[in-house]
Amino acid sequence: MTVHVRTLDELLHAPLEADSDLTTQEYLVNMGPQHPIAHGSLRVVVRLDGETVKEVIPVPGYVHRGVEKMCEHLNYRQVIPYTDRLDYLSAIMNNWAVAKTVETAAGIETNDRIEVIRTIMAELQRLQSHALWWGVTGMDLGAYTAFLYGFREREIIGEIFEETIGARLTMNYIQPGGLMYDIKPDFAAKVKKLLPYLKDCVEQYETLLSGNVIFQERLRNVGIVDGARAVALGCTGPVVRASGVPLDLRATEPYGAYGKVQFNVVVGTVGDCWDRYYVRLEEMRESIRIIEQLIDGIPDGPYSTIRYNVELTLPEGIHYGQVETARGAFGVLIVSDGKREIPYRLHFRSPNFNNLWVVTAMAPGWRIADFISIQSSLDLVIPDIDR
Amino acid sequence: MGVALGKLPGIVERFPGGAMAITRLDAAINLARSNSLWPLMFGTKCCAIEMLMATGASHHDLARFGAEVARASVRQADLMVIAGAIVKKMAPRMRLLYEQMAEPRYVIATGSCAISGGPFMYNSYTVVRGADEVVPVDVYVPGCPPRPEAFFWGLLTLQRMIREGETIREPGIRRKPVMAALPEDVSLHEIRAEIRAALANENVIDVTQAANQKPWARKVREWIQRASLR
């Protein structure tokens, strides 16, 4: 299945037509780069007929910093902080992607303790990211209360990160061969105390927002995309799972400690905004389940298997590794020449870039207000698109 | 010269022709402006989560400082919080946003990226090295990203600056301070040697001379003389 996406130039030079029954005129509207729905600075050009969306062309590039080119001047440890600044809501998982690729390529072995702590941290951050997304979606659709509740949990999980890692957003935690810092002695007790509270919070989210009639009307059967089309556009994460494709790298190619734990891959049936909403809520429950299984038996051992000042040189060739972040598969492709400790070429396969282009398939035929809920349900982080 | 001119010189200034009322009005207006800043919803990168969303949310409450009315339209806003890196494609748009904002307008640059380019200072071909190359910036809040408390401190600083009438109204006048440059014919070694010599001088104390200069030195001398006479 091929998908044709028109460029902005093609859109601007195409003749505008009106094919509805009423005599209306088509027109183009810019949304962004400064727009409350943009969640950053994304520009979307929308071709409208009245209030009906006929075509959507995303115009990324307003936060393009050239991270991949910069990484050609940095060694593999120095790449890690820059992955924080791509998808900053799943910084730890981005770090993990680089660490995993480098470890696989260089043959560095880690111990159980490192993998378990990495998994717990990644799941905590997935919870944090989904809580933030839930709040922001509520705000986008007019429920400001949801915003306040979503950020309440984000701050509470953030305190645990701050105690262990020392950062609130840009973590720089998972390194090739281990972790940046060891966990504190009372880490497990604190997380265990937090889990029942988070369970209650997810139930609270349900009662606060899920049952709301307006909210359901705005999400149900809006922006449907079927599984084949989502896969053809390269979607990953909750977006493709909501369309019924059970693609979850944690289950399909287990890494870290995911092979040892029991959890379900949450899959939707319709592929509308509601499914994408509910898949994330269920994923929060699954994340809590994963942490519950791991938190009791964190094994002993060193928190890093290699020294930090060792120079890592990867063997010549192309190395690829990917992890499941809160938004989908984040992949790192490293081309190494085998001589220097810096990559010859580095590419990030970011989940948000592909998840963005699915709006071109979802939005046509819906109103402007539905377009807001469609874009909000994709959970886009713009710096990850632009890199 | 009663209370107004004698005790409140900062608010009321003496001008011939009775300009007293105008200066008082300015102070009142500045006070009102400083406590009703309307920030613009404009975030480009990670700092936007911390500066615009986390500060406005439940844990850190921006409403305590009277700046929680975040506006999506530039025409209704007067405070631009530059949260994140500004790239060359964004710079003209940001300038446009700044010029559309209601006057008087204020700018806070938060985070290393907006101050100097931050982690993207070297080897990046798109990032503008500091948002103050595009718009005049009133307050810089360093950090990567800064904590919400740091942003509050920056906001309070801006409020104080507005009250004292010290913000920059005219773009292009302020120059970026060049911190890395040294004057000609001066090397780092010379500066280090000078500092070391100064430290050495300061840390050497002649104990007897220092003690003689103390107020109790005379009493001690008298006591010693009395003791020796006896």
Q: Please report the domains of chain A, with CATH numbers, ordered by start residue.
A: 67-351 (1.10.645.10)
Chain A hits for B124, CB-CB cut-off 8 Å, are 65-66, 69-70
| Residue B122, pLDDT score | 82
Q: What is the pTM of this model?
A: 0.79
Contact B41 A34 (CB under 8 A): yes
Contact A66 B97 (CB under 8 A): no
| Interval B164-173 mean pLDDT | 52
| Residues in a beta bridge with A325 | A328
- What is the Cα–Cα distance from A233 to A227, expressed in whole angstroms? 10
Q: Amino acid identity, residue A123?
A: E
Residue B5 clears pLDDT 70, i.e. is over it: no
| Interval B105-120 mean pLDDT | 86
Residue B203 clears pLDDT 60, i.e. is over it: yes
Q: Please answer whether residues A369 and A142 qualify as being in contact, where contact means their C-beta atoms are separated by less than 8 angstroms.
A: no
Q: Amino acid identity, residue A229?
A: R
**Selection from A238, A285, A281, A289 nearest residue A261 by Cα:** A289
- Counted across chains A and B, CB pairs separated by less than 8 A come out at 104
Residue B178 clears pLDDT 50, i.e. is over it: no
Q: Which helix (H) or strand (E) holds B139?
A: strand B139-141
Contact A34 B144 (CB under 8 A): no
- What is the Cα–Cα distance from A219 to B123, expressed in whole angstroms? 44
> Of B45, B54, B59, which is closest to A383 when you measure between CB atoms?
B45
Interface test with A, best of B71, B112, B123 (most A CBs within 10 A): B123
| Interval B38-43 mean pLDDT | 86
| Other Cβ atoms closer than 10 A to B183 | 5
Per DSSP bridges, beta strands B79-83 and B106-110 are parallel
List the single residue in A with minimal CA-CA distance to B125.
Answer: A66
> Of A41, A136, A170, which is closest to B46 when you measure between CB atoms?
A170
Contact A66 B124 (CB under 8 A): yes
Q: Please answer whether residues A374 and A363 qualify as being in contact, where contact means their C-beta atoms are separated by less than 8 angstroms.
A: yes
Residue B171 confidence class, pLDDT cut points 50, 70, 90: very low
Contact A169 B49 (CB under 8 A): yes
- What is the Cα–Cα distance from B155 to B166, expressed in whole angstroms? 14
Chain A hits for B53, CB-CB cut-off 8 Å, are 132, 136, 151
| Residues in a beta bridge with A49 | A26, A52
Residue with tokens 């809590």: A288
For A104, list phi and psi in degrees, rounded to 5.
Answer: -65, -40
> Of B48, B97, B147, which is closest to A168 when you measure between CB atoms?
B147
Contact B45 A40 (CB under 8 A): yes
- What is the Cα–Cα distance from B191 to B183, expressed in whole angstroms? 11
Contact A62 B87 (CB under 8 A): yes
Residues of B within an 8 Å Cβ radius of A: 40-46, 48-50, 53-54, 57-59, 72, 74, 84-85, 87, 89-90, 93, 97, 119-120, 122-127, 144-145, 147
Chain A hits for B126, CB-CB cut-off 8 Å, are 64-66
| Residue A124, pLDDT score | 92
Contact A35 B44 (CB under 8 A): no
Higher pLDDT, B21 or A338: A338
CA distance B34 to chain A (A): 25
- Alpha carbons within 13 angstroms on the beta-carbon side of residue B93 total 19
> Of A82, A136, A154, which is closest to B119 when you measure between CB atoms?
A82
Q: Compute CA distances A12 → A19, A112, A188, A308, whole Å.
A: 18, 55, 57, 52
User: What's the angle, vertex CA A66, arms to CA A64 and CA A70, rounded to 5?
Assistant: 155
- What is the Cα–Cα distance from A145 to A156, expressed in whole angstroms? 17
Contact B49 A89 (CB under 8 A): yes
Q: Please answer whether residues A215 and A141 qualify as being in contact, where contact means their C-beta atoms are separated by less than 8 angstroms.
A: yes
- What is the Cα–Cα distance from A80 to A86, expressed in whole angstroms? 11
Contact B124 A136 (CB under 8 A): no
Residue with tokens 């896969």: A231
User: What's the angle, vertex CA B96, arms to CA B92 and CA B100, rounded to 5?
Assistant: 170
Q: Compute CA distances A50 → A32, A38, A306, whole Å.
A: 19, 22, 62
Chain B hits for A92, CB-CB cut-off 8 Å, are none
CA distance B165 to chain A (A): 30
Residue B129 confidence class, pLDDT cut points 50, 70, 90: confident
Average pLDDT for runs of 10 along chain A of length 387: 68 64 75 79 86 86 88 88 89 92 89 90 92 90 87 89 88 88 88 90 88 87 88 89 89 88 88 90 91 88 82 87 90 88 89 89 87 88 88
- What is the Cα–Cα distance from B157 to A156, expressed in whole angstroms? 28
List the single residue in B with minimal CA-CA distance to A36.
Answer: B72
- What is the Cα–Cα distance from B153 to A47, expressed in whole angstroms? 44
Contact B89 A61 (CB under 8 A): yes
ipTM of model over 0.90 = no
List the single residue in A with minimal CA-CA distance to B94.
Answer: A34
> Of B45, B72, B125, which is closest to A66 when you measure between CB atoms?
B125
Q: Please answer whether residues A80 and A167 qualify as being in contact, where contact means their C-beta atoms are separated by less than 8 angstroms.
A: no
| B83 DSSP 8-state letter | E
Q: Please answer whether residues A36 and B72 qualify as being in contact, where contact means their C-beta atoms are separated by less than 8 angstroms.
A: yes
| Residue B166, pLDDT score | 58
CA distance B79 to chain A (A): 15
| Residues in a beta bridge with A321 | A332
> Of B40, B50, B120, which is closest to A65 when you measure between CB atoms?
B120
Chain A hits for B41, CB-CB cut-off 8 Å, are 34, 36
**Selection from B94, B138, B144 nearest residue B118 by Cα:** B144
> Of A63, A88, A151, which is closest to B54 when you measure between CB atoms?
A151
List the single residue in A with minimal CA-CA distance to B73.
Answer: A35
Contact A69 B48 (CB under 8 A): no
